[in-house]
């Protein structure tokens, strides 16, 4: 059986539970790339145009890391997961980008585009058949994987609820999961705040069934699905936390729009925007975090 490579960047942080559970159910071996490092970023920068966002450079670094360690790499094409909405154009073009950069690399692919009636279930069944499994076995594996994914989302929701009850200083880390969970971006913020005994709530720890309701309080229509979730999370948590740290990678088009919406609609909420363009200095990051925590203690409005 061929081994599948999972690159730990971008879509991985939305779908890793679904992917791994699907392959586990089919008993298909897979490996994950290493955690992000300076070397990973350098590998990605060599394959990427300068204007690409840091998150894309990191992803390409993980693909470069995996290319000789597995038989094929999973690179989906995601266009829309909600009607009348779209995900980041990077996700639309990811498969074609990797295909052009690595013409000899074997890719495992599935396509989701709800707008044009390409649904996730059918996509996973097709992917299972590409791996040599029957329609029924592929569907059963997808069904089991989807159940595990739903349980995972419920665990995140319960985690968020539990954290809100603590008496510690609470800070919302607001951003895309691929930024919040990356060792070279969000994990640096997380580690610093943990050392200060801060309770950290991630934006993706809100109830998913509340997203459409909460986002209406900022805007009746948001074109970018993932950014809609960020706006909803800010509204949902902002009155229950002491402050929000908004983490983004430059230059992200959808983020540039929704970050501005958050800053304009923050009201009395205290928000710190941290933009990662490259390997930001730890000293610069810590200085800004220290200032932000001092302002929280002093009750100063930013």
Q: Which pLDDT tens digit goes with each residue over 97-115?
A: 999 999 999 999 999 998 8
pLDDT along the chain (302 residues), means of 10: 94 97 98 95 89 92 96 95 86 92 95 90 96 97 98 97 95 96 94 95 95 91 91 95 94 86 88 84 86 80 46
Residue corresponding to tokens 């990678």:
249
Q: Which fold has domain 4-148?
A: Rossmann fold (3.40.50)
Are residues 142 and 125 in contact, defined by beta-carbon separation less than 8 angstroms?
yes
pLDDT given at position 301: 47
Q: Which two tokens stand for residue 133?
A: 């499994």
- The residues that bridge with 4 in the sheet, in sequence order, are 30, 72
259-281 pLDDT tens trace: 999 988 888 889 999 999 876 67
Distance (Å, whole) CA 93 – CA 96: 5
DSSP letter at 118 equals B
Element (H, E) at 149: helix 135-164
* Short-list 277, 276, 201, CA closest to 243: 201
Query: Where are the domain boundaries for CATH 3.40.50.11890 in the chain?
Result: 166-298
- Any idea which residue has 């990662």 for tokens? 276
Q: Which pLDDT score is estimated for 300?
A: 47
> Coil, helix or strand for 150?
helix
**CATH architecture, domain defined by 166-298:** 3-Layer(aba) Sandwich (3.40)
Closest CA to 237 of 262, 273, 259: 262
CA 30 to chain centre: 20
Give the chain's length.
Answer: 302
């Amino acid at each position: 059986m061929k081994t599948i490579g999972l690159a730990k960047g971008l879509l991985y942080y939305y779908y890793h539970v679904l992917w791994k559970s699907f392959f586990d159910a089919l008993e298909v071996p897979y490996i994950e790339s290493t955690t992000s490092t300076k070397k990973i970023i350098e590998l990605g920068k060599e394959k990427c145009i300068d204007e690409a966002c840091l998150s894309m450079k990191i992803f390409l670094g993980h693909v470069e890391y995996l290319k000789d360690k597995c038989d094929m790499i999973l690179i989906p094409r995601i266009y829309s997961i909600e009607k009348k909405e779209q995900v980041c154009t990077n996700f639309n073009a990811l498969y074609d980008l990797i295909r052009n950069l690595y013409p000899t690399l074997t890719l495992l692919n599935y396509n989701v585009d709800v707008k044009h009636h390409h649904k996730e279930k059918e996509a996973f069944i097709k992917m299972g058949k590409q791996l040599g499994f029957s329609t029924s076995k592929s569907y059963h594996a997808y069904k089991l994987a989807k159940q595990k994914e739903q349980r995972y989302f419920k665990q995140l929701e319960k985690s968020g609820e539990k954290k809100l009850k603590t008496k510690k200083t609470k800070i919302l880390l607001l951003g895309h999961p691929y930024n919040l969970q990356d060792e070279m971006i969000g994990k640096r913020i997380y580690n610093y705040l943990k050392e200060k005994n801060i309770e950290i709530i991630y934006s993706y720890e809100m109830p998913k069934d509340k997203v459409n309701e909460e986002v209406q309080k900022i805007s009746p229509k948001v074109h970018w699905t993932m950014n809609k979730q960020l706006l909803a999370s800010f509204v949902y948590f902002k009155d229950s936390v002491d402050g929000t740290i908004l983490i983004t990678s430059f230059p992200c088009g959808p983020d540039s729009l929704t970050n501005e919406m958050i800053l304009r609609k923050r009201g009395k909420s205290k928000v710190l925007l941290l933009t990662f363009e490259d390997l930001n200095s730890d000293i610069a990051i810590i200085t800004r975090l220290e200032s932000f925590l001092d302002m929280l203690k002093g009750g100063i409005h930013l």
